[in-house]
């Protein structure tokens, strides 16, 4: 198997370059002094050029051709067959865009990001509009280069959720939207029944850090192969499975930000810390797709971290860390505070219930922009109308509306749906884990996360990127991607918390 072993040697080089690039980026966002910015951007661009050359070279193409013949007799589920299949997929995708077009995209989007920042600061959509138009045009050309069988949006979605189809996602979102809109309306009629003000009291940052670390360590995040630092925008990053780091941000008057953020990122990091050893250096030792990755962060943040059982165990520890702030607070009040629902204008501040409505809105507008059903000039009004229809709140400025996210400036159309798909997947996986072990809630309430950890490791994490997302979901749950576990979870949980009539 000479082609296959040469192919693996090249994949190891590509992996190392990708890891080096991640280290540079982590350092830039954590400890690099401001003076290092220019040199760092040159270093990163060199590494990224070499990585791109290596992963699109005709030599690599020939190795893949040869390796395909060598593995053709193997079982399709064998490791080598899966490596070659995924590498072929990556190679075909990354060689579809002409180099000069890629350079044009990088140049245009970096300018567009710059203009977007100004436009948002000055609340001036007209400034950003020509750049949004350029990005929509680039997205259309991207679609043409990649090609599609059914809908143009498929080509963009495919970049983040390989082989998922727009039409299928529409069906899932159409199932979720009416239920959640009804749930939000019902909750709004009970506004005031939850007092979440305890979370706005002053919690010192060192206490927040100590508690957050204790929580994710108890989950199973391995600090021998990870660490927690501070950044403006929290993230998880991996330099190989034995060094997966997370970051968070603190605000002493918003205790849930650092705590929930740390749990969220630990979900991403545990995924990467626990990919199979046999995948190391193959370019498959990472998450299966954006939605699968997001399912892990959401599972630990929401299904675990906002559950009654979690707080049954952690409330005394939280209290021990903050006895003054919590002197007059009981478990039920704290649990409800962490689950307060307030329709708001800003996606990143949205609660568990309203979050997906923000995503559905963006998914619908992106398709309309791409199809030409919506013009850039009409985008702000279309945005505000959907906010009113879905969430019952209307932005009064474009900065709080169409200008709020960076995604359309950075050329990230097709990305948004993966956030919601991640929520659906998290519930589907959790339901299956619960089916395998009915005592899961009792275990969580006693601070024992080992069986949940093991189930996820065995059914998701260890496979890394061996499978495409829909294959992985089916392998783990025996079912296609479904919204019913998500709808059931959300409806049951919030009907109880807000004492709602049946939805
Ligand atoms: Zn995430």
Return the H-helix or E-strand segment holding 244: strand 244-248
74 CA to centre of ligand 1 in angstroms: 36
CA–CA distance, 348 with 176 (Å, rounded to integer): 19
**265 is known as an active-site residue:** yes
CA–CA distance, 445 with 312 (Å, rounded to integer): 6
Q: Please state whether 448 falls in left (phi above 0), alpha (psi between -120 and 50) or beta.
A: beta
Supply the angle between the helices 99-121 and 125-146 in degrees, to the nearest 10.
160
Of 277, 282, 290, 289, residue with least CA distance to 225? 277
Q: Could you tell me the two tokens for 223?
A: 């600090």
264 CA to centre of ligand 1 in angstroms: 6
pTM: 0.95
Q: Could you tell me the two tokens for 215?
A: 């929580």
* CATH level 2 (architecture), domain 166-346+412-469: Orthogonal Bundle (1.10)
CA–CA distance, 132 with 126 (Å, rounded to integer): 10
Q: Tokens 């991403």 sit at which residue?
A: 268
Residues ≥6 apart with Cβ < 8 Å to 166: 150, 151, 153, 154, 157, 367
Which one from 161, 265, 272, 364 is the annotated catalytic residue? 265
75 CA to centre of ligand 1 in angstroms: 34
Residues ≥6 apart with Cβ < 8 Å to 211: 259, 317, 318, 321, 322
Supply the angle between the helices 290-298 and 417-436 in degrees, to the nearest 10.
60
In terms of DSSP H, where are the helices of 392-464?
417-436, 440-445, 450-459
CA–CA distance, 412 with 22 (Å, rounded to integer): 19
173 CA to centre of ligand 1 in angstroms: 20
Of 55, 46, 88, 22, residue with least CA distance to 240? 22
422 CA to centre of ligand 1 in angstroms: 9
Q: Which residues pair with 246 in a beta bridge?
A: 228, 236
Whether the Cβ atoms of residue 395 and residue 387 lie closer than 8 Å to each other: yes
Q: Where are the domains positioned within the chain?
A: 2-132, 166-346+412-469
272 CA to centre of ligand 1 in angstroms: 13
- For 176, list phi and psi in degrees, rounded to 5: -80, -45
pLDDT by position in tens, the chain (length 503): 699 999 999 999 999 999 999 999 999 989 999 899 889 888 988 998 899 999 999 999 999 999 999 999 999 999 999 999 999 999 999 999 988 898 899 889 988 998 999 999 999 999 999 999 999 999 999 999 999 999 999 999 999 999 999 999 999 999 999 999 999 999 999 988 899 999 999 999 999 999 999 999 999 999 999 999 999 889 999 999 999 999 999 999 999 999 999 999 999 999 999 999 999 999 999 999 999 999 999 999 999 999 999 999 999 999 999 999 999 999 999 999 999 999 999 998 899 999 999 999 999 999 999 999 999 999 999 999 999 999 999 999 999 999 999 999 999 999 999 999 999 999 999 999 999 999 999 999 999 999 999 999 999 999 999 999 999 999 999 999 999 999 999 999 999 999 998 87
Whether the Cβ atoms of residue 233 and residue 261 lie closer than 8 Å to each other: no
CA–CA distance, 412 with 409 (Å, rounded to integer): 7
């Amino acid at each position: 198997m000479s082609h296959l072993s040469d192919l693996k040697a090249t994949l190891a080089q590509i992996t190392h370059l990708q890891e080096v690039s991640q280290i540079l980026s982590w350092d830039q966002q954590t400890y690099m002094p401001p003076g290092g910015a220019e040199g760092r951007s040159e270093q990163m661009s060199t590494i990224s050029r070499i990585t791109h050359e290596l992963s699109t070279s005709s030599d690599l193409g020939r190795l893949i051709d040869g390796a395909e013949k060598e593995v053709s007799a193997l079982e399709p589920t064998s490791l080598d067959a899966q490596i070659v299949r995924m590498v072929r997929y990556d190679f075909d995708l990354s060689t579809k865009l002409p180099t000069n077009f890629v350079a044009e995209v990088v140049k245009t989007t970096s300018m567009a990001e710059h203009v977007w920042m100004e436009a948002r600061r000055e609340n001036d959509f007209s400034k950003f509009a020509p750049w949004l138009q350029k990005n929509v045009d680039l997205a259309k050309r991207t679609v043409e280069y990649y090609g599609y069988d059914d809908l143009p949006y498929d080509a963009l979605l495919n970049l983040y959720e390989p082989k998922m189809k727009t039409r299928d996602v529409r069906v899932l979102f159409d199932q979720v939207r009416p239920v959640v809109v009804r749930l939000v309306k019902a909750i709004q009629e009970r506004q005031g029944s939850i007092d979440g003000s305890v979370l706005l009291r002053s919690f010192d940052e060192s206490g927040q850090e100590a508690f957050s670390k204790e929580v994710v360590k108890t989950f199973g995040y391995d600090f021998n192969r990870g660490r927690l630092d501070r950044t403006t925008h929290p993230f998880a990053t991996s330099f190989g499975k034995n060094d997966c780091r997370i970051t968070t941000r603190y605000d002493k008057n918003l205790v849930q930000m650092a705590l929930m953020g740390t749990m969220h990122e630990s979900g991403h990091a545990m995924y990467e810390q626990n990919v199979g050893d046999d995948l190391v250096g193959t370019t498959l030792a990472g998450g299966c797709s954006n939605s699968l990755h997001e399912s892990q962060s959401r599972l630990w943040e929401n299904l675990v971290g906002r559950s009654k059982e979690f707080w049954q165990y952690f409330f005394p520890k939280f209290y021990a860390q903050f006895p003054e702030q919590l002197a007059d607070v009981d478990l039920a009040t704290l649990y409800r505070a962490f689950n307060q629902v307030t329709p708001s204008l800003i996606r990143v501040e949205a609660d568990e219930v309203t979050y997906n409505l923000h995503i559905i809105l963006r998914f619908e507008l992106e398709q309309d922009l791409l199809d030409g059903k919506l013009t850039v000039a009409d985008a702000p009004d279309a945005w505000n109308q959907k906010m009113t229809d879905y969430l019952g709140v209307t932005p009064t400025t474009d900065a709080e509306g169409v200008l709020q996210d960076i995604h359309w400036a950075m050329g990230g159309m097709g990305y948004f749906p993966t956030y919601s798909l991640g929520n659906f997947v998290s519930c589907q996986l959790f339901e299956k884990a619960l089916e395998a072990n009915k005592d899961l809630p009792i275990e969580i309430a006693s601070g024992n996360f080992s069986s949940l950890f093991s189930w996820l490791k065995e059914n998701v994490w260890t496979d890394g990127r061996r499978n495409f997302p829909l294959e992985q979901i089916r392998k783990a749950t025996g079912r296609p991607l479904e919204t019913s576990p998500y709808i059931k979870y959300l409806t049951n949980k919030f009907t109880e918390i807000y004492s709602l009539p049946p939805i």
